[in-house]
Chains A and B, each alone.
Chain A
Amino acid sequence: MIDLGTLALRLGLATAIYALVAAVLGGGRRRADLVASSRHAAYVVHGLVAVASLVLWRALLARDFSLEYVASYSSSTLSLPYTIAAFWGGQSGSLLFWALILTTMSSVVHLQNRERNAALMPYVTATLMALAIFFLAMLVFVTDPFTRLPVPAREGADLNPLLQNYWMMIHPPSLYLGFVGCSVPFAFAIAALASGRLGDVWIRTTRRWTLFAWAFLTLGNILGGRWAYEELGWGGYWAWDPVENAAIMPWFTCTAFLHSVMIQEKKNMLKMWNMVLILLTFCLTIFGTFLTRSGVVSSVHSFTQSGLGPFFVGFLLAVIVVSIALIVLRRPLLRSENDIDSFLSREGAFLFNNLLLVGLAFATFWGTVFPVISEAVRGVKITVGPPFFNKVNAPLGLALLLMTGIGPVIAWRRASARNLRRSFTWPLALGFATGVAIFAAGWRHYYAVVCFSLAAFVLATIFMEFYRGTRARQSLMGEAPGAALANLIGRNRRRYGGYVIHLGVVMMAVGIAASSSFRVEKQETLAAGEAIEVGPYTLTHRGVRSTDSPHVAALVADVDVTRGGRAVTTLHPEKRFYKRQQQPTTEVALRSTLRDDLYVVLGNYDAQSGLVTFLVFVSPLVAWLWIGGLVMGVGTIIVMSPTAAEQRALAAAMAVEERGLEPALR
């Protein structure tokens, strides 16, 4: 059975090479038979990678400890969900998982486009297969998931305990879907450059794919934050760790791309910029994977470090060289057909939004690699930690929040004084009043006050857009308020779905500002029956008890919580000991409300004295961070849902581009 996995990977690699060659020849020589053959070969590659994946999953579920991978990342006592997740818990498994997602997406793309985009598809196939070749070559020649141990192990080493958390079941797949999802717009961008068809078609065709990748990048980052919040036990959710940075950088550039493509669709501008952004986004996903694998910068995410770094650097350089060469070659076709009339316009606002998003990506990149630069220049190791990123990215983030309120409302071409007054008088007044009120209430944290003021400003602009749109429908169509609102959103999903996403962003910004500025924490050692006060809560330690299973032993503390003299809950923070890996972990006890989170960590336990050290955090409004993420998800679903107008626009763009196409390729 294991040999079947090895065979499937090798055949997959050979077939992907064939698909690449056939696609390039078919596209170049306009041979429809070769193009069709490359498409069929891409389906076969997907099938073979799926077979290899099933073989690895079966080996994990069968606890086949003769396989090095299974013995390294699972054990006989590991629960079923984590055994399934062990597939991506280690090096070669995660690369196989990447290849599985990539080839699955490749098949979906080929199915979607089998009757359309004839000029682009050979190069799309070639690009996707080139990516598949890289990952399959890694799996066949460098890090084979089907390597057998000389002597089968009697027991597995188990999955890293930090990965045995339910958020870890969905955080890596989400991030992988986001990372690999970027391959599709990247492949279409390369295809547009290679074929010289640089109109709107590639952008309109991949719009939903880009949104899909962006949505999963968003989800992956939020889930990663949630995992860190619950599992790492330091009361925070984002530490600007190099691997966290690697995940957020493509999100920044992908977000910039999603905004700037609107300018291309509306005004035929920024063609070159959009091309650069999507190529950069893809490069950042590969750079992120390189950071995770190489260990070139120290990271808390060192679960799967290996010597794969040089291969990823080589691959990244190849991607960059090909991308730059194609852009230089097609430069004349990437010129804008229109100019900006005024910076005081939606185009201008989107430009500055792009500048800030790319600026955030750059600042994050710069901070991540600066220790390496410093060591190369000065020979001195330095650390660039959370204080640097907070100081550098906070002002840029606040400026971006401001643009979130301005961009969607300001007029196209050139904003008149009337437009500015009509759109911004009330929101500015509300934002200003909020700032004054917060300041008067005695809150003196500068960033938080500015963030809350900007949040109020953006909320007001969003509310006014919904209000005015609904009123307009009521007056013009005679609709009832509810129907008018539903139709307003339903008929303008991109616009109003975007507002819903912005609403989620505001919620997240408020949650981040409040929880990072006004967090209260206390560390105290208590005997049973003793109590501490943290913020508005009183916590009484009632004692500890032990639990045991073949997989994990735990020490559980029972902590009664009161607020204002009223009992609210009993929390059970744990200290666990995973027997196979001989590793202790903390399991945080959490009481989350819309107002604040009470977060209790069981630190040290002295068995002789019975004293327990607790670390307690009270973080205001932190729940809004996660709620904001959900709202962003709802907005994304609205934005992604198809509309007839969008289909018409795509068909029109295709008609223009397909007119000159030879029948042989249809």
Chain B
Amino acid sequence: MSRPTQTEIEEALTCQCGCGLTVHSCNHLQCPSAIPLKQEIGEQLALDKTHAEVLAHFAGKYGEKVLSAPTTTGFNVVAWVTPFAAPLVAAIVIVVLVRRWRRRGGAGAPEPAAPAGDAADAARRARLRAELERFEG
């Protein structure tokens, strides 16, 4: 398994100075939080730990709030699943409702058959001309 990089871990941790950014993005170059955290990340990586092990170290030491995204365990799974589950459920509801409406209202009227020949061409051109003049959206 490939070892995590310094940048990956910095992006996975939130700076505690109040900037609201990750340790990597913190805009205070003399930040009292980001600088020691970056140093500590380096120390942890030097111990040849995995990504999860390094994050577990920081979460254990500073609390879960130091992680820049929720973990994928326990109640935090809800955070990750809901944004995808909600539109999916909504899509299913839409499909079911539309099908029910269509059954209730009957199938839509069939498309008018396309006219044929020169007369059809003329009609189509006239309609196209009118559409070009008036058509909105």
Contacts and interface: CB of A to CB of B under 8 A. Distances in A.
Given A355-B87, A396-B87, A382 B67 contact: yes
B102 interface: yes
A509 B125 CA distance: 38
Given A355-B87, A476-B125, A384 B108 contact: no
Interface in A230-273: 232-236, 239, 241, 262, 265-266
A586 B27 contact: yes
Interface in B10-68: 11-12, 14, 18-22, 25-27, 29-30, 63-68
Given A383-B65, A388-B79, A413 B111 contact: yes
Contacts of A595: none
Interface string A312-353: 000000000000000000000000100111010000000110
Contacts of A366: 79, 82-83, 86
A234 B29 contact: no
A339 B69 contact: no
Given A366-B82, A472-B128, A387 B29 contact: no
B70 A374 contact: yes
Interface size class of A (residues with CB under 8 A): 35 or more
A234 B27 contact: yes
Given A234-B21, A236-B25, A586-B27, A362 B132 contact: no
A385 B83 contact: no
Interface stretch (A53-61, A488-496, A621-629): A488-496
Contact of A241 (B20, B80, B105): B20
Interface in A437-496: 469, 472-473, 476-477, 488, 491-492, 494-495
B89 to A, nearest CB: 11
A358 B90 CA distance: 10
Interface string B71-105: 00011100110111011001100110010011001
Contacts of B65: 381-383
Given A340-B98, A386-B68, A298 B18 contact: yes
Given A340-B98, A387-B69, A367 B137 contact: no
A162 B128 CA distance: 56
Nearest to B26: A234
Given A370-B79, A381-B64, A383-B66, A351 B137 contact: no
Given A234-B21, A382-B76, A603-B29, A391 B69 contact: yes
Contacts of A473: 132
Given A387-B68, A391-B69, A239 B83 contact: no
A481 to B, nearest CB: 15
A394 to B, nearest CB: 11
Given A601-B29, A613-B29, A645 B108 contact: no
Contacts of A239: 20-21, 25
Contacts of B19: 300
Nearest to A377: B75
Contacts of A113: none
A613 B136 CA distance: 57
A178 B133 CA distance: 33
Interface string A349-381: 001100110110011001100100010011011
Interface core residue of B74, B79, B129 (most chain A CB under 10 Å): B79
B20 A645 contact: no
Given A234-B21, A234-B26, A382-B70, A340 B79 contact: no
Contact of A495 (B18, B98, B137): B137
A351 B97 CA distance: 13
Contact of B101 (A235, A339, A386, A603): A339
B3 interface: no
Contacts of B63: 380-381
B86 A362 contact: yes
B20 A476 contact: no
Contacts of A384: 69-70, 79
Contacts of A491: 132-133
Nearest to A371: B65
A339 B20 contact: no
Contacts of B86: 359, 362-363, 366
B68 A383 contact: yes
Contacts of A498: 137
A494 B137 contact: yes
Contacts of B27: 232-234, 586
A499 to B, nearest CB: 11
A355 B18 CA distance: 34
A343 B20 contact: no
A175 B130 CA distance: 40
A79 interface: no
B111 A492 contact: no
A414 interface: yes
A615 B29 contact: yes
A652 interface: no
A472 to B, nearest CB: 6
A392 interface: yes
B137 A299 contact: no
A359 B83 contact: yes
A374 B76 contact: yes
B137 A266 contact: yes
Contacts of A340: 98, 101-102
Contacts of A362: 83, 86-87
A604 interface: yes
A392 B125 contact: no
B129 to A, nearest CB: 6
Nearest to A362: B86
Contacts of B135: 492, 495
B82 A476 contact: no
A646 interface: yes
B25 A299 contact: no
Given A299-B20, A362-B86, A381-B65, A495 B75 contact: no
A341 B101 CA distance: 10
Nearest to B27: A234
Given A381-B63, A388-B79, A495-B136, A356 B87 contact: yes
Nearest to B102: A339
Contacts of B14: 383, 385
The list of the 7 closest CB pairs from A to B, nearest first, reads: A603-B29, A363-B83, A359-B87, A385-B68, A341-B108, A388-B69, A234-B27
Interface of B: 11-12, 14, 18-22, 25-27, 29-30, 63-70, 74-76, 79-80, 82-84, 86-87, 90-91, 94-95, 98, 101-102, 105, 107-108, 111, 125, 128-129, 132-137
Given A300-B18, A386-B25, 8 more contacts: A234-B21, A343-B95, A355-B90, A363-B83, A385-B69, A391-B69, A413-B111, A491-B133
7 contacts: A362-B83, A363-B86, A366-B83, A367-B83, A381-B65, A396-B87, A495-B135
